[in-house]
Structure 1
Amino acid sequence: MHLTRTTRCSVLLLSGALLLSACGSGDSSGTSGKSDAGGNAVSLDNCGQKVTVENPPKRAVSLNQGTTEIMLSLGLADRMVGTATWTDPVLKGLQKAGAKVPRLADNQPSFEKVLETEPDFVASSFASTLGKGGVAPREKFEELGVPTYLSPSDCQGKDNTGASDGERTRPLAMDSVYQEVLELARVFGVEERGRKLVTQLKNRVSKATSGIDAEDTTILYWFANQESPYMAGCCGAPGVVTNELGAKNVFDDTKQEWPQVSWETVADRNPDVLVIGDLVREQETAETAEKKIEFLESNAATKNMDAVKEKRYVLLSGQAMNPSIRTVEGVEKVAAALREYGLAG
């Protein structure tokens, strides 16, 4: 049954079975997106799928923090009925708007939990969230007439078929993030807000990198896990930060998004600076920066690394280390730290 804005249906859970029942018509959105065919419909080629949104969504669900913060930045809190999968506190300046949107789960919600919100649009930052083993494959939502959207940054130049976090076939660029902002703005009919946000982000990157020269500086990015740490490969969001600054990632010899490596290998690479994920979630060991630094300064393999002895740390939110609008925050904070440590030319 097609769950459009005019024929949106309630999903009831009875004895573990999903029953679809017809419900009344909804009103039209107060703001209309630019039409592809004279009406309100918007069609996109999204990660190999054609997505058509008949009317600007009024009951959107964002399954990852990255897409959530884009929507909130576009002023769409009143058109959202759920968010999920958080690694960090909501972006500064968006707390009031974020408080208006129900959090379905701190981590990954069930398919049924999402359907209970009666969504008319579902967006995700990662293919794994809208795939087997995630909330549900995109096809499951599409079968119910709910259009889905996947961040271009997780499919353009990226192979997600493996068991890990994927592998980049070409380096990520901020253009993929800007594309997501503009496409979501178009879907919701707020194109001008999208263009304004992209301009602001570009100006911040330009200001942060002005006059910087870090070609002789090596950086390591540690996202999570103490026993078998996830370190950034060459070409994801940390690669954007590194490339914008002209520096070198010590693990730029792997295209895996987040390879797991040994601490002996880390110590052998001996980077000048350690960029450390400061997460609030509780999925892995050593999620917070405090726990990570405590480990680095006590572990036999790492405590004698130059960056550890000199305490050359940069603390970043998890979202700044994922492809998102916060990757700009990553550029700014790493640039500022390199200047502070005298490593920026």
Structure 2
Amino acid sequence: MPFARLVRSVRSAALPVLPVLGMLVLSACGSGKTAGEPVADAAVSLTNCGHTVRVGAPPERAVSLNQGTTEIMLSLGLADRMVGTATWTDPVLKGLEEDNRKVKRLADNAPSFERVLDTDPDFVAASFVSTLGKGGVATREQFGKLGVPTYVSPSDCAGKDNSGDGDGARKDALTMDAVYREVRDLAEVFGVEEKGEELVTSLERRMKKATAGVDASGVTLMYWFANSESPYMAGCCGAPGIMTRALGAKNVFDDTHDEWPQINWETVAERDPDVLVIGDLTRRSQTAETAEKKIEFLESNAVTKNMTAVRKKRYVLLSGQALNPTVRTVEGVERIASALREYGLAG
């Protein structure tokens, strides 16, 4: 995803290992313990993206480094146990505004390692492997040496190769199960399992309602995240794939497993989708972030202005978070389904 490339541009300076107040008994790598005390069995232990996450007690000073994990934690009622958030693309999810105001924003984009450590965190979560990897805020090992457990959204590592320079490629198609697992994992870590199940049940009900009676077979979609010079378009198998499959439609770039490949406009025009799903972002790190700027470009560019979706103004506007595998992906399914009905393209 474009977020992954964004965080790679933030290089963390090498830091000495410093003591962190309020550390948990064990780190995400299982290597830390409180000085002078034996390592006790963790209250919670779970496997996460190749790491074992162990916490001795529910975190009280958590930091979320991406908006996706932030909105899950806020939805679980954890604002009072959070000391920082970072990397935002959109206004916070509706209904979470009051809780969000309680939590300090460390940076609109990726914060420095030092900035995160200044909050004295006892747990750090992120939506992307790249956020907690080389070139990101810091590696999981760096936090682990300080006794701080870390967690990464399962949706960014399940069946996905993040070893390249781009936004990763998926071997397996993503499903909402990965998002539900993240909700349940975080609920377990913080000891609010009941709230986690309530959130998952709500999302499942919304998915079922949004797709009931919808048949968009034969309808082609294209998902544009950002950048007007070399646009990021969705490949087959990330969050846009969840939406496309749920509605029975077809992504015109389902022949690529790259998460967000950059594709030239001539190829985009040749694929000529029936409907354009457009990211409406408020961040300012790429060109054509807002939907308004994207549509202005599409309707004035000689290569794109004669595309079917552009001529017929068949646009669906989604937040950046809805285009990522988050709790907002359900919102994406709802909005696309509604738009297809409005355009007379689905039952």
TM superposition score normalised by structure 1: 0.90
Contact 1:250 1:269 in 2 (8 A): yes
- What displacement does 1:250 show? 0.3
CA change 1:145–1:291 in 2 (3 A) is: same
Partner amino acid, structure 2, of 1:160: N
1:174 aligns with 2:172: no
Q: Any conservation in 2 of the 1:276–1:292 contact (CA below 8 Å)?
A: yes
CA distance in 2, matches of 1:300, 1:226: 13
Residues 40 and 56 in structure 1, CA contact (< 8 A), matched pair in contact too: no
What is the CA-CA distance between 1:246 and the residue it aligns to? Answer: 0.6
Q: Distance in 1 between matches of 2:22 and 2:197?
A: 35
Tell me the SS of whatever aligns to 2:18. Answer: strand
Distance 1:208 1:300, change over 3 A: same
Q: Give the counterpart of 2:131 among 113, 129, 132.
A: 129
Report the counterpart of residue 237 of structure 1 in structure 2.
239
Distance 1:17 1:149 in 2: 21
Aligned CA distance change for structure 1 residues 77 and 141 (closer, same or farther; 3 Å): same
| Aligned counterparts of 1:234 and 1:137: Cα–Cα separation in 2 | 29
- For 1:34, the equivalent position in structure 2 comes to none
Alignment of 1:37-52 (within 5 A): 41-52=43-54
Structure 1 segments unaligned to the other structure (5+ residues): 1-15, 27-37
Residue matched to 1:114: 116
Q: Deviations over 1:35-78 (max 9, x none)?
A: xxx97610011011111011100000000000000000000000
Q: Which residue of 2 aligns with 1:63?
A: 65
| Aligned equivalent of 2:262 | 260
SS at match of 2:115: helix
SS in 2 for 1:297: helix
Tell me the equivalent position of 2:339.
Answer: 337
Give runs of aligned pairs for residues 86-165 of structure 1, distance below 5 A. Answer: 86-165=88-167
Provide the rounded CA distance (Å) in 1 between the counterparts of 2:264 and 2:302. Answer: 13
Q: Residues of 1 paired with 2:23 and 2:313: CA distance? A: 60
Q: Give the C-alpha shift of residue 92 in structure 1.
A: 0.2
1:220-231 correspondence runs (5 A): 220-231=222-233
Deviant stretches of 4+, over 3 Å: 16-26
Whole-angstrom CA distance in 2 between matches of 1:302 and 1:178: 37
What amino acid does structure 2 have at the position aligned with 1:206?
K
Percentage of pairs with the same residue: 72
- Is the contact between residue 218 and residue 247 of structure 1 (CA under 8 Å) also seen in structure 2? yes
Q: Following the alignment from structure 2 to structure 1, what is the Cα–Cα distance between the partners of residues 241 and 114?
A: 36
Q: 1:80 matched to which residue of 2?
A: 82
Conserved? CA contact 2:236–2:254, under 8 Å: yes
Please report the RMSD computed on the Cα atoms of aligned residues, expressed in angstroms: 1.7
Q: 1:165 to 1:297 in 2, by over 3 A?
A: same
Give the residue type in structure 2 aligned to 1:272.
D
Q: 1:22 to 1:227 in 2, by over 3 A?
A: closer
1:20 Cα shift? 3.4
Does the C-alpha gap of structure 1 residues 23 and 139 become closer, same or farther in structure 2, counting only changes over 3 Å?
Answer: closer
Given that 2:22 and 2:122 are in contact with CA atoms closer than 8 Å, whether structure 1 keeps it comes out as no
Task: State the one-letter code of the partner of 2:18.
Answer: L
User: Any gaps of 5 or more consecutive residues in structure 2?
Assistant: 1-13, 25-39
Q: 2 CA distance for matches of 1:248 and 1:23?
A: 51
Distance 1:302 1:285 in 2: 17
**Distance (whole Å) between structure 1 residues aligned to residue 15 and residue 238 of structure 2:** 40
Distance 1:248 1:21, change over 3 A: closer
Q: Could you tell me how far apart the structure 1 residues matched to 2:300 and 2:178 are? A: 39
Equivalent position of 1:297 in the other structure:
299
1:341 partner letter: Y
Structure with higher RCO (Cα < 8 A, 6+ apart): 2
How many pairs align? 320
Alpha-carbon distance change, 100 to 263 in structure 1, aligned in 2, over 3 angstroms: same
- SS of match in other structure, 2:45: strand
Distance 1:69 1:24 in 2: 24
1:61-98 residue CA offsets vs partner (Å, 9 max, x unmatched)? 00000000000000000000000000000000000000
Q: Distance in 1 between matches of 2:17 and 2:119?
A: 14
- TM-superposed CA distance for 1:265, in Å, is 0.5
Higher strand share: 1
Question: C-alpha offsets along residues 101-148 of structure 1, whole Å, 9 cap, x if unaligned?
Answer: 000000000000000000000000000100000001100000000000
Tell me if structure 2 keeps the 8 A contact 1:65–1:319. yes
